[in-house]
Amino acid sequence: MEKKKSISAQFKNLISLSVSAGKKAYAPYSNLHVGAALLTVKGRIFSGCNVENASFGLTCCAERNAIFQAVREEGPGMKIRAIAISADSKFPIPPCGACRQVIAEFVAKDKEGTVVIFKSEKGLIGPRIEELLPGFFEMKS
Ligand SMILES: [Zn+2]
């Protein structure tokens, strides 16, 4: 269940950065330009856009593009405080299942958690990743 939560000014900045990132998208097949901007727990911001491919399965979503850049910069300890997703569509663009699992891999396991911001049928929402992907897969050692 997605609960509606207020969006802070910091998160509004992420939304605006995700819109900018989406303008760089390589989307000749779907013509759907998606952008994502994430804030790490350390306070750094990374963005990404979707990059499509003629072999559709090789397409990379904006969210994963941003997350992989964040890992490249902060290393394996990178944790996501918030990630905003936007697209040039009239319909809502929630993160796909694959991206939800990748976001969950880098969940902030503190009180603030990891928030995912996107336009839903009810407007802009910011649920925690656990609400979007309950019981997500984790490798326990
Ligand atoms: Zn995705």
Q: Which amino acids are annotated catalytic?
A: 63
- Tens-place pLDDT, residues 46-66: 999 999 999 999 999 999 999
- Tens-place pLDDT, residues 74-95: 999 999 999 999 999 989 999 9
Q: Is residue 77 part of a domain?
A: yes
Q: Is residue 52 part of a domain?
A: yes
Residues spanned by the domain of 87: 9-132
Q: For residue 96, report the distance from its CA to the centre of ligand 1, in Å.
A: 4
What's the CATH code of the domain at 17? 3.40.140.10
Q: For residue 141, report the distance from its CA to the centre of ligand 1, in Å.
A: 27
Whole-model pTM: value is 0.91
Q: Is residue 29 part of a domain?
A: yes
- Tens-place pLDDT, residues 23-39: 999 999 999 999 999 99
Q: Is residue 105 part of a domain?
A: yes
Q: Is residue 111 part of a domain?
A: yes
Q: Is residue 4 part of a domain?
A: no
Q: Is residue 2 part of a domain?
A: no
How far CA 136 is from CA of 38, 89, 106, 126, 129, in Å, comes to 20, 28, 12, 18, 9
Q: For residue 32, report the distance from its CA to the centre of ligand 1, in Å.
A: 12
- Residue 5 tokens read as 């939560």
Q: Report the domain count for the chain.
A: 1
- Lateral strand order in the sheet of 80-87: 45-49, 34-40, 80-87, 115-120, 123-125
